[in-house]
């Protein structure tokens, strides 16, 4: 049995979604950000940094999203969710996987400063504006590529979409996506996928964001 260690609506949803796209049987072990369960010694033996996702699969424990994605797709090649070594879009695929983590690191920084930081601590408005600008910069190439194709790869949907696509559901809390019509259409296509809907049903309610949008000016 595959076991996914998961926090609802967190980046571990990417693995949950991928498992559904692959049609693999799995169990989910749920954790919460604020209840200390991610710092439990038993969990730290599975994920040394105390983060999700962590995946128990094939007698291994994998605790990095990109590594999980690559391992699952390469050990189950018949899924067709990752280009093979000799296929034309292999480099594009690998690049989007890495780009997803670049984007996710900016989102994590904004989450920390604008969502999780509590008084009397106070973030720098200048730093927040810089981080939002950095996040917007990651959206420009996505908007461009999605102007000519439905998914990140011209060949069609791939695991790159599960890894990077989910980021955009968090981006909307910090960037007004009405400026990015191709990205909005991309979000609609993702949400329409049956595997995405099944993953959402197994996900749980998000407990991070308590308002629909976070602006740097709110912290002045």
Q: Taking the model in full, what pTM does it have?
A: 0.94
> Which of these, 36, 164, 196, 173, lies nearest to 99 by C-alpha position?
164
Q: How far apart are CA 161 and CA 123, in angstroms?
A: 32
Residue with the two structure tokens 């990109």: 66
Residue 114: the pLDDT is 94
SS3 category, 102: helix
Q: Which CATH class is domain 90-203+209-219?
A: mainly alpha
Q: How many CB atoms lie within 10 A of CB 39?
A: 10
pLDDT digit of tens for each residue in the chain (220 aa)? 899 999 999 999 999 999 999 999 999 999 998 888 999 999 999 999 999 999 999 999 999 999 999 999 999 887 899 999 999 999 999 999 999 999 999 999 999 999 998 888 899 999 999 999 999 999 999 999 999 999 999 999 999 999 999 999 999 999 999 999 999 999 999 999 999 999 999 999 888 899 999 999 999 8
Three-class DSSP category at 26: strand
Give me the architecture of the 2-79 domain, per CATH. Answer: 3-Layer(aba) Sandwich (3.40)
Sequence-distant (6+) residues with CB within 8 A of 92 are: 83, 152, 153
Amino acid 78: pLDDT = 78
Strand order in the sheet with 60-62: 26-31, 2-7, 54-57, 60-62
Neighbours of 129 (CB within 10 A): 13
Q: What is the pLDDT of residue 121?
A: 86
Can you read off the two tokens belonging to residue 54? Answer: 């962590």
**Predicted local distance difference test score (pLDDT) of residue 84:** 93
Asked if 30 and 76 touch (Cβ cutoff 8 Å), the reply is: no
- What is the domain partition of the chain in residue ranges? 2-79, 90-203+209-219
Phi-psi bin for 39: left (phi > 0), alpha (psi -120 to 50), beta? alpha
Containing H/E element for 61? strand 60-62
Q: What's the pLDDT score for residue 129?
A: 97
């Amino acid at each position: 049995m595959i076991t996914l260690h998961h926090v609802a609506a967190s980046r571990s949803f990417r693995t949950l979604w991928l498992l559904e796209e692959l049609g693999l049987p799995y169990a989910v072990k749920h954790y919460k950000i604020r209840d200390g369960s991610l710092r439990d010694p038993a969990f730290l033996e599975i994920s040394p940094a105390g983060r999700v996702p962590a995946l128990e699969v094939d007698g291994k424990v994998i605790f990095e999203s990109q590594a999980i994605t690559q391992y699952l797709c390469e050990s189950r090649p018949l899924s067709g969710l990752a280009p093979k070594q000799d296929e034309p879009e292999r480099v594009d695929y690998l690049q989007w996987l890495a780009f997803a983590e670049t984007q996710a690191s900016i989102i994590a920084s904004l989450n920390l400063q604008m969502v999780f930081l509590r008084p009397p601590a106070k973030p720098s408005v200048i730093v927040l504006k810089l981080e939002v600008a950095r996040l917007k910069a990651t959206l420009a190439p996505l908007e461009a590529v999605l102007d000519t194709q439905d998914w990140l790869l011209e060949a069609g949907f791939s695991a790159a979409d599960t890894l990077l696509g989910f980021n955009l559901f968090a981006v909307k809390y910090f960037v007004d996506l009405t400026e990015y019509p191709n990205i909005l259409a991309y979000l609609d296509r993702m949400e329409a996928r049956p595997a995405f809907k099944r993953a959402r049903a197994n996900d749980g309610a998000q407990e991070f964001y308590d308002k629909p949008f976070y602006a740097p000016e709110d912290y002045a």
